[in-house]
Amino acid sequence: MSGLNTTFTTPDATDAVELHALVKNSPPLDPNSLYCNLLQCSHFADTAIAARQDGRLIGFISGYRIPERPNTLFVWQVVVAAEARGQGLAHRMLCQLLAKPACRDVSFLETTITPDNDASWALFKRLQRTLECDGKESVQFDQQRHFQDQHQTEMQFRIGPFTQQKVIS
C-alpha cells in the first residue's frame, strides 16, 4: 500500500477535509475541528507533510516549530490510514518532514504520546535510532492536573540533538 508510488507533498488548505476524516477515523487520535485542520494545512503547512497514493490521502504529519525554541520541531499528530500501516510509511514521513527546508535549523524533535500507544512509541524510538541521538521521557500534560481526569497523561518524548545530515543519509 505505501509503496513506490506514494507521493509526499507539503499540504495546502484543500487537504483539510480529507485530513479531518482521516484523523476522525484513526483512534486514539483526538479528532480536530475542521478549522484546526485548515490551520494545520495552511499556517503550519511548511512543517507538515501529506502522503498520497492514487490521489488519496493515506498519511499526514502535522507540526510546528515551538515559537520560543525554534530549533525544536513539535510533532502534533501522525496518522496513517489503517490499510497502509505497518509498512514504514510513518517513519518515511517523519524523515521526509525533517529533510524539508523549514526544518533546516531543527536539531530537536518533541512529541507527546499516551503511555499505552505502543505504535507511536515504537515509531518515535525507531526515529531516535535512525538519528542516533538521545531520547528523554517526561510528563507534559498530566491526567489529573491538566486534563482533570478527562484524558490519559500525555508523555513528552524529546529526541536530539541531531543533524539534518543524519536524516538525509
Ligand X SMILES: CC(C)(COP(=O)(O)OP(=O)(O)OC[C@H]1O[C@@H](n2cnc3c(N)ncnc32)[C@H](O)[C@@H]1OP(=O)(O)O)[C@@H](O)C(=O)NCCC(=O)NCCS
**Chain residues in the site for ligand X (CB under 6 A):** 26, 28-29, 77-80, 85-91, 117-120, 122-123, 126
Instruction: Give min distance, CB of 76 to ligand X, in A.
Output: 8
Task: Name which of 22 and 102 has its Cβ closer to ligand X.
Answer: 22
Task: Name which of 51 and 104 has its Cβ closer to ligand X.
Answer: 51
Instruction: Give min distance, CB of 87 to ligand X, in A.
Output: 5
Task: Name which of 104 and 108 has its Cβ closer to ligand X.
Answer: 108
List the beta strands (DSSP E) in 2-159.
Answer: 7-9, 49-53, 56-66, 69-80, 108-113, 135-141, 154-159
- Give the β-pairing of 56-66 and 69-80: antiparallel
Instruction: Give min distance, CB of 160 to ligand X, in A.
Output: 18
User: How many C-alpha atoms does 80 have within 13 Å on its Cβ side?
Assistant: 20
Task: Name which of 68 and 118 has its Cβ closer to ligand X.
Answer: 118
**Cα separation of 1 and 6, whole Å?**
8
**What DSSP character marks residue 11?**
-
Instruction: Give min distance, CB of 13 to ligand X, in A.
Output: 22
**Cα separation of 140 and 138, whole Å?**
6
Instruction: Give min distance, CB of 113 to ligand X, in A.
Output: 6
* Residue 110 near residue 98 (C-beta atoms within 8 A): no
* Residue 88 near residue 59 (C-beta atoms within 8 A): no
Nearest Cα neighbor of 160 from 120, 119, 103 is: 103
Task: Name which of 86 and 115 has its Cβ closer to ligand X.
Answer: 86
